[in-house]
Structure 1
Amino acid sequence: MSFRVENRVGVKAPSDRIWDIIADLPSWGDWNPTFPQAEGIIAIGGVLTLTETIEGLGERPVRAAINDWVPYAQLIWSERRGFQFTSTRYIEIEELAPGSCIVANGEIFGGMFGEGFFNKNKRLLRRACEEMGEALRLRAEA
């Protein structure tokens, strides 16, 4: 069983502009309140080293593997967070028309302990996704 938190936001920018922001990992600190530090190589099996900051949960280091990526469309990474606890994070771009996209970002929690963590913190997690989505929108539309 898995549990998901997601935010979707309309962005008045082309998918390549949004992708360029996402793919520039070292600049995440300039715009991303949820992951203010990011480094790694975007490739299948690549490793991301991130700092996750969620108000109410604090800051934690993240070491995650990239599961999938499609330029101008999606970036998916996952981490094992402990015994019977996994999470998969994603950013997806859906271009509706030239210069107009829907961007989704979210996290899927799995495992017995993932369920407990999600249930306890879903409001904080949802807010973190909303903040990240809005920050990405503002950056892409600037």
Structure 2
Amino acid sequence: MNFKVEKRVGVKATSERIWEVISDLQGWDDWNPIETGVSGTIAFGGTLALTEAVPGLPDRQVVGRIGDWQPSGQLLWTEKRGWLFQSTRYYRIDQLEPGSCIVANGFIFSGFRGEGFHDKHRQILRAGCESVGEALRLRAEAG
């Protein structure tokens, strides 16, 4: 069973512009309030390394494997967080019309321990996703 926390935000920018912000991994330090020090390669089977600093949770080092990506569409990576616990982090861009998109970012937790983590921290994670969504919106709309 999967447990999801997601925030969706409207962005007045093209899907290409939003993807430009998301795919510039080194630039995340300039806008992303919870994921910093990002390095890696966006490619099938590629890896991302970053520091996850969700307010209210301890900072942690993440090494995730790219699970799926599509230019101007989505970026998704997975991480085995321990015994019976896996997480997926994602950004998804849905273009409504040229220059207007909905961007979702969230976490999906699976496994027995994933359920407990989700239940205990869902409000903190939701606030983190809200701050990321707003920061991404501002960065993309700034051009």
Q: What letter corresponds to residue 52 of structure 2 in structure 1?
A: E
In percent, how many aligned pairs have the same letter? 58
Q: What letter corresponds to residue 113 of structure 1 in structure 2?
A: R
Alpha-carbon offset, residue 89 of structure 1: 0.7
Please list every run of at least 4 consecutive aligned residues from structure 1 whose deviation after the TM superposition is greater than 3 angstroms: none
Which residue of 1 is the match for residue 78 of structure 2?
78
Which residue of 1 is the match for residue 55 of structure 2?
55
| CA-atom RMSD in angstroms | 0.5
TM (norm. structure 2) is 0.98
| Unaligned ranges ≥5, structure 1 | none
| Unaligned ranges ≥5, structure 2 | none
Which residue of 1 is the match for residue 96 of structure 2?
96
Q: What letter corresponds to residue 14 of structure 2 in structure 1?
A: P
The CA distance in 1 between the partners of 2:45 and 2:71, in whole Å, is 15
The CA distance in 2 between the partners of 1:81 and 1:27, in whole Å, is 26
The CA distance in 1 between the partners of 2:58 and 2:71, in whole Å, is 31
Q: Would you say how many aligned residue pairs link Structure 1 and Structure 2?
A: 142
The CA distance in 1 between the partners of 2:37 and 2:7, in whole Å, is 21
Q: Does 1:15 align with 2:15?
A: yes
SS at match of 2:42: coil
The CA distance in 2 between the partners of 1:67 and 1:54, in whole Å, is 22
Deviations 1:45-104 (A, max 9, x none): 000001101001021100000001000000010000000000011100011111000000
The CA distance in 2 between the partners of 1:23 and 1:39, in whole Å, is 11
TM (norm. structure 1) is 0.99
SS at match of 2:103: strand
